[in-house]
Amino acid sequence: MSRFAPSFRIVLLAGAATVSIGSASSAFAQAATSAADAPAADDKSHVANYIDLSGSLGLATNPRLQQSGSGSSLTGLGRVSAYAVHSVVSERDSLSLSGYVENQSYTNGLRSTQSFDLEGRIRHRANSRLSLYGSAGFSGDVGGQLYNRFLSVPTGPSVIEVGNPLPPVGVIDPNFIAINARTYRLSGQAGLDYGVSARDSLNASIGYDHVFTSRSELDLNYDTVTGSVGWQRQFSERTFGGLRMVVAHSDYGDRGHADVFNPQVTANTQLTEGWSASGSIGVSLVNERTTTVHNHSASLSFDASLCRTTPNETICGRAARATQTSIGQGLVNATSVSVSYFRRLNAKDTIQAGASVARSSGGSGLLIAAPATFYSVNASYNRKISPRLSTGVEAGLRKFDQRGADVPVGGSATVFLRYRLGDLL
């Protein structure tokens, strides 16, 4: 799934907590890491293996974000889930494998639903100038329910490394919610960072996404290949800036194809102690040929983030606009605004919260013609009972708006119990 701001390096270490996509990124992502989890910078590897088993009971309304009628009424909810992590971190290398699976059952006759999110990340520092990285993921969801999840609980605020830009990330696609079917995303990415001099560096990446659904008769599948190359210079101890070119090709099969060329100016800086800002701005040049439209156009793109981190708290906001492929619509102008929050109240208690709005418009309407907007807000309180056992409450609301669709608000509130097998962090 999608990740957090493209010009912030969110260090992936043992004990990483995957943040609800609806809260950040993206998808947000999506992965926040506690400074307390970071290993010492020596030649020894830090290895972590654990599984968090959770059970939740509560109430929900319209859990699948269906139109008014059967399935949208208040129902009892039971959820069981497992979140597994294997990570190895050394001075030169890092490896992180994680998997989340859940089953939700309802008392109003709705069929149970299953969602999952699998991910692997690797990074290798070949020498003082060259770093290589790669990632792969596979996820499946119904009605955007994973957008409203905190998969785990961090032990402390995020570690944000300014001046080490991530590859470009996308904006939440509201049209995934409009498809009354299970949606799947298979993705992979590889890239490198190369230091040309003490102040200048080059970065490049290539990625692939394959999106498909359980309703093959709708013919919604598509493939996207994305490549980027960039240059960055350190202008001062706290400020970095550069240029980047992102190129994406989307293939809709018999329905057509599209190309997007997106030159950008990037910048990121440490404003003051604890405050970091990141941004990019550019123009998206579009060449789209489908069964419904032949389109040559240009539109504004941007991505801006602002974060504040203290020893016990992190708050981040992001606003982004991009031209990207949307399921059932071809290319759309996708815009999102999101905020995420984490606070460690004391040694036993933590809270997390997030909110986001994502809108897509201007698509070629291959199957879904109307603009769509998705709203999400969620919050969680977690209390440790013992080093392995914790409990808490979670609540969330989701809303999908589209012309001609009457979709009531979806919400849930649950009490959970979580037990950790394996390493304690």
CA 53, CA 72: separation in Å to the nearest integer? 28
Please report, in tens digits, the pLDDT of each residue of the chain (425 residues total). 333 333 333 333 333 333 333 333 333 333 333 333 444 444 578 999 999 999 999 999 988 787 766 556 789 999 999 999 999 999 899 999 999 999 999 998 888 889 999 999 999 999 999 999 999 999 998 877 787 787 777 665 665 566 555 555 666 777 766 666 788 999 999 999 999 999 999 999 999 999 988 877 677 889 999 999 999 999 999 999 999 999 999 998 888 899 999 999 999 999 988 899 999 999 999 998 887 778 888 999 999 999 999 999 999 999 999 988 877 667 888 899 999 999 999 999 999 999 999 988 876 555 555 678 889 999 999 999 999 999 999 999 988 888 777 788 888 999 999 999 998 87
Q: Under DSSP, is residue 359 helix (H, G, I), strand (E, B) or coil?
A: strand
The alpha carbon torsion through 383, 385, 389, 391 (nearest 10 deg) reads: -40
Distance separating alpha carbons of residues 215 and 201, to the nearest angstrom: 45
Q: Regarding beta strands 74-89 and 93-106, do their DSSP bridges make them parallel or antiparallel, or are they unpaired?
A: antiparallel
Please determine, looking at this structure, whether the domain spanning 8-422 carries the CATH number 2.40.160.
yes
| C-beta separation of 362 from 337 below 8 A | no
Smallest CA-to-CA distance from 38 within 17, 13, 16, 18 is with: 13
Q: 109: how many CB neighbours lie within 10 A of its CB?
A: 9
What H or E segment, with its residue span, contains residue 77? Answer: strand 74-89
* Cα–Cα separations (whole angstroms), residue 274 to 298, 303, 306, 315, 316: 37, 20, 11, 10, 11
Question: To which H or E segment does residue 250 belong?
Answer: strand 239-251
